[in-house]
Structure 1
Amino acid sequence: MEHRVDDLIQIFKDCFEDTYQTRLVRGDIEPLYRPAQPGQDLHEIVFAHGFFSSALHEISHWLIAGPQRRLLEDFGYWYEPDGRTAAQQALFEQVEIKPQATEWILSDAAGYRFQVSTDNLNGEFKDNTEFKHSVYQQVCHYCEEGLPMRTEIFRNALAAFYDTPRDLCRERFRLADLR
């Protein structure tokens, strides 16, 4: 099946626009979460370049963010651009474990190949084996303990649309598959 961002935008709209006043928006360059401003009814999750994987990743950040964080631009997180030192990269990876585990689960529900991202092509080299392992362990935790409610809603909607298995089972996720 073809993976079109317009389908993803509609699925997200059907799941969350009315209940969370949030929409998914195709952006030009950098992704960004923008809480609604005066005179604007909807919060916006802006994903980069119309990429399907960027949309899933930004949705994952939104799904993890609690109510207070969803009132802050980019959920109140710092972002150090590409070119991070090894120490900066380690901090980046700590906050990316849950979003990337969530993205992997959503990718699976959409029948889309997931690729772990360290987002630091021009920075100091840091072996990402430990990061991949942490993402995998978080996926296993979600498989055993269940997903947060909004994540479960969206995952089920993706599985229904893409006709993939509805059950979340650990056997579909393998550490060896992470690139």
Structure 2
Amino acid sequence: MHKIADLISIFAATFDQSYNTRLVKGEHEPIYIPSCDKTPYHQIVFAHGFYASALHEIAHWLVAGDKRRLLEDYGYWYCPDGRDKQKQAEFENVEIKPQAIEWLLSTAAGFEFNVSVDNLNGEQTCRFDFQQRVHQQVLTLINNGFNSRTEALLKALSHFYNTPWPMSAQQFNWQHPKELTDAV
């Protein structure tokens, strides 16, 4: 049901002309590459043809402002897997909004979302605490509205996958497992 070719086409129809940006299937690690002499368009390169990776990389692009979209990987640092507790906390803080947007995109596409702490070989943190923070950001975005690029893609995905639009907080019912056990 979720073909990467469909997502690439939806993205192209929404942003190719207006933002000169294309979604590109990569073979290795994801990266954002601004246009240059060799490639006259911006590239959101996602990993290994994975649908979830494409949604995540699109989310980073939707968060990035005009100036950031002129820099490779938006000019952000990336500390690879194996982060200590402090670096993991920094990573999670910058990932809240992109992962909230990824959750919204996934829902618009009728695709299952899984929060990612992306630190398999590092110090483990509570995935559910992070998901709770991402969930709160989802609700904030729904209540406060989306930037124009995010809204355009959410509408396009909802139209293509025949999911509810406009989105509502009721579509994002989630409780921290601790809250569930406390309620019993």
- Quickly name the TM-score band, shorter chain normalised: over 0.9
Corresponding letter in the other structure for 1:174:
N
For residue 44 of structure 1, what is the aligned residue in structure 2?
43
For residue 103 of structure 1, what is the aligned residue in structure 2?
102
Corresponding letter in the other structure for 2:121:
N
Once the two structures are TM-superposed, the CA of residue 166 in structure 1 deviates from its matched residue by 1.1
Task: Kindly name which structure, 1 or 2, has the bigger radius of gyration based on alpha carbons.
Answer: 2
For residue 129 of structure 1, what is the aligned residue in structure 2?
128
For residue 58 of structure 1, what is the aligned residue in structure 2?
57
SS in 1 for 2:133: helix
- Superposed, 1:5-154 pairs within 5 Å as 5-154=4-153
Superposed CA RMSD in Å reads 1.2
Greater alpha carbon shift after TM alignment, 166-175 vs 111-120:
166-175
Q: Is the 1:27–1:49 contact (alpha carbons within 8 Å) kept by the matching residues of 2? A: yes
Measure, in 2, the Cα distance between the counterparts of 1:147 and 1:177: 25
Measure, in 2, the Cα distance between the counterparts of 1:165 and 1:114: 16
The runs of 5 or more residues in structure 1 that have no matched partner are none
SS in 1 for 2:175: helix
Once the two structures are TM-superposed, the CA of residue 39 in structure 1 deviates from its matched residue by 4.1
Q: Is the 2:100–2:135 contact (alpha carbons within 8 Å) kept by the matching residues of 1? A: yes
Q: Is the 2:128–2:176 contact (alpha carbons within 8 Å) kept by the matching residues of 1? A: no
For residue 155 of structure 1, what is the aligned residue in structure 2?
154
SS in 2 for 1:175: coil
Measure, in 1, the Cα distance between the counterparts of 2:127 and 2:108: 25
Moved over 3 A (4+): none
